[in-house]
Structure 1
Amino acid sequence: MSVANLIVINPVVKSLELLGDRWTILILRDAFLGRHRFEEFRSHTGASRSTLSKRLENLVAQEVLYKKPYQTTPLRNEYRLTKKGLDLYPWALLIWEWESQWCNDAHQLPPKLIHRVPDEHELQPMVVCRHCKQELHIADVEREVLADADESDVQALKTIGNQRRSRGGRGTEEDSSLGHITDIIGDRWASLILAAAFMGLQRYDDFRRQLGIATNILADRLKRLSEAGVFDRIEYQSKPPRSEYRLTEKGKALYPFTMMMRQWSLDWLDAMDDTPFKLIHKPCGHELAVDVICKTCSAVPNPKDVSYQK
């Protein structure tokens, strides 16, 4: 089975259709920070009114948020997280952790996470196998292919990658935290390239052939990912010049986050129904399912037990 087939039927792609967007990520960041009203989202994300309205309505339609009236004349609604939305909390924690570890811009760093159970300590979220409780590493996961994908499904890659995203304006209170990671995972083509890299692709021609990306878009995204330190660009041929793009430790650190996206997709989007392959956690031999725990106390973090400290 080709990498393109594997990617398009990957549960991660289903979640990318909803979450692989800069503004959606920032809206969810704000929702977990306790911001609920339209003007709060607009000020802190910097999204234009039309962009913000579309993203909020989509999240409501997908039952990640729900509307709660806080004023009747005229009618005004807050946007609150549903159970489906709250189950994205581990995903949000991993975004926080990655940004804290790898962002070099102090102005973009998110607040420090404080876990208050059983006593107060800094929260360091860690992805573990649900079965053996071992920390997840990319080298410990293998694919078991069960069937082939329909070629028509592979065209979905272009649909997902080509959805346009506006940058919008800047709000007066714009929150720049998580700006580094949203520049990476908030672009669907960059996310698809990362997914392909996790499956072993390294060369420009392989990315182009397997993903069907236009050459100018592919060159731009590979350049961005290399400049961001996610890939190391290594020349393997000089005449003509040819390069490989190898995941750095910074890039590999996005793998657990990606697997948490996959888990949410499996739990909420019925993504297992049409998935003709499975992932196996080699240390225990079980089909991969993951959870996020606190590295210090091993408890599963609950939003009510976590606070934010600059």
Structure 2
Amino acid sequence: MSPENHSFRTVRASSAARALTLIGDRWTLLALYAAFRGISRFDGFVAHTGMARSLLTDRLGRLEAAGLMERRPYQERPVRHGYHLTAKGLDLFDAALMILRWDQKRTDAVVEAPGDPAHRVVHRTCGCELVAQLTCKACGQAVTARNTTVAPGPGAGLDPAPRPRAQRRSIVEGEGGAPPVAERAIAVLGDRWTSHLVAASFYGLRRFGDLQAELGAASNILSDRLARLVSLGVLDRVRYQERPERWEYRLTDEGRELFPLIVTLMAWGDRWLSGPEGAPEVLTHAPCGQRLEAVVRCEVCGGVVGPETTTPPP
């Protein structure tokens, strides 16, 4: 069966992949970004995301249908509603912090947007600008791609392959809505195939055929997205055979820095998108040998970080 025929295709069950299928769209991410900044009214979303009103209506409707946002009336005559994050939506806070962390780790981020407040969150516990770190609850050490292993969980199996989306690909940098400091993160995560390719890379998949078998992407789509991730500095293209010439795609150091984000998306998907059988995958933190339960902490004071201990950017 060709990769283009998605009717009966299946992919490896993954909570991170389920989460990315749900939110891995540029405009969906921008709407969530605005909501975490305290925006709730329709015109506010338009102003902060740059979305056309019809597109915004569609994305807010999708988020409401997925249970991530809910409408609440704030005016009776005429009736007007605000859009607010639900408990399920607010639970993406750790993932949002890991996106922030990835952008903060970029050496050119501050150069691009030195005065941009969008990435400056204050940890009220210590009063310092927050640099979030994902740590193991059992031993307190940092969680990285190199010290964490994955194994099948009780919910291991296959999921239906995501259906092709009707809307056009939207990963062009500078397209509007995101502040410069967040633009490359949106470019990586705001397209279903690029975000799933990053997740697949953490399974150790490097070669074109293996990635295609894992994702079920058409050859032209896969080639385009791999080239895109190479240009963004997330993957390196390395020749492993000369005759005939063949290449594989390896995570760069910067690409591996996305691993904490994948972990938080996996944990969120385990909580909200797993069936009664449980998590499809189990992570183990090698330094302590314990099943990983990740906690976000402040690098400055070591305190636990949550919505109640942070001040959102203006």
Q: Give the TM-score normalised by the residue count of structure 1.
A: 0.86
Corresponding residue number in structure 2 for 1:163:
165
Contact 2:11-2:216 within 8 A present in 1 as well: no
The two structures, once aligned, show a CA RMSD in angstroms of 3.0
Contact 2:103-2:185 within 8 A present in 1 as well: yes
Q: Hey, what's the Cα distance between the residues in 1 that align with 2:17 and 2:304?
A: 26
Corresponding residue number in structure 2 for 1:142:
149
Counterpart residue identity of residue 111, structure 1: H
Contact 2:284-2:290 within 8 A present in 1 as well: yes
2:232 to 219, 228, 232: 228
- Give the Å deviation of 1:56: 0.9
Q: Hey, what's the Cα distance between the residues in 1 that align with 2:247 and 2:183?
A: 28
Q: Which range moved further: 181-190 or 93-102? A: 93-102
- Give the Å deviation of 1:283: 1.9
Q: Which range moved further: 100-109 or 68-77? A: 100-109
Gaps of 5+ in 2: 1-8
2:81 to 72, 77, 82: 77
Q: 1:255-302 CA distances to partner (integer Å, 9 max, x unpaired)?
A: 101100111111222357354542222222222221211111122223
Corresponding residue number in structure 2 for 1:247:
251
Gaps of 5+ in 1: none
Contact 1:11-1:271 within 8 A present in 2 as well: no
Contact 1:140-1:281 within 8 A present in 2 as well: yes
Corresponding residue number in structure 1 for 2:217:
213
2:134 to 127, 136, 140: 127
- Give the Å deviation of 1:146: 5.7
Q: Which range moved further: 295-304 or 121-130? A: 295-304
Corresponding residue number in structure 1 for 2:291:
287
3-state secondary structure, aligned to 1:139: coil
Distance verdict in 2 for CA 1:291–1:223, change over 3 Å: same
Q: Give the TM-score normalised by the residue count of structure 2.
A: 0.85
3-state secondary structure, aligned to 2:249: strand
Q: Hey, what's the Cα distance between the residues in 2 that align with 1:55 and 1:99?
A: 24
Aligned positions of 1:3-42 closer than 5 A: 8-42=12-46
State whether structure 2 residue 260 is matched by structure 1 residue 256. yes
Contact 2:155-2:278 within 8 A present in 1 as well: no
Distance verdict in 2 for CA 1:204–1:257, change over 3 Å: same
Corresponding residue number in structure 1 for 2:3:
none
Contact 2:91-2:268 within 8 A present in 1 as well: yes
Distance verdict in 2 for CA 1:234–1:115, change over 3 Å: same
Q: How many equivalent pairs are there?
A: 300
3-state secondary structure, aligned to 2:185: helix
3-state secondary structure, aligned to 2:60: helix
Q: 1:70-119 CA distances to partner (integer Å, 9 max, x unpaired)?
A: 111111111112222222111111111212222736249633222121x3
| Percent of pairs with identical residues | 35
2:124 to 116, 119, 136: 116
3-state secondary structure, aligned to 2:300: coil
Distance verdict in 2 for CA 1:145–1:85, change over 3 Å: closer
Contact 1:114-1:307 within 8 A present in 2 as well: yes
Contact 1:7-1:13 within 8 A present in 2 as well: no
Q: Hey, what's the Cα distance between the residues in 2 that align with 1:271 and 1:251?
A: 30
3-state secondary structure, aligned to 2:301: coil
Counterpart residue identity of residue 133, structure 2: M
Distance verdict in 2 for CA 1:202–1:65, change over 3 Å: same
Q: Hey, what's the Cα distance between the residues in 2 that align with 1:304 and 1:285?
A: 31
Contact 1:69-1:77 within 8 A present in 2 as well: yes
Distance verdict in 2 for CA 1:242–1:185, change over 3 Å: same
Contact 1:132-1:284 within 8 A present in 2 as well: yes
Counterpart residue identity of residue 41, structure 1: F
Counterpart residue identity of residue 161, structure 2: L
Contact 2:11-2:214 within 8 A present in 1 as well: no
3-state secondary structure, aligned to 2:277: helix
Q: Hey, what's the Cα distance between the residues in 2 that align with 1:102 and 1:6?
A: 36
Q: Hey, what's the Cα distance between the residues in 1 that align with 2:162 and 2:72?
A: 36
3-state secondary structure, aligned to 2:39: coil
Q: Hey, what's the Cα distance between the residues in 1 that align with 2:275 and 2:137?
A: 18
Q: Hey, what's the Cα distance between the residues in 2 that align with 1:146 and 1:301?
A: 28
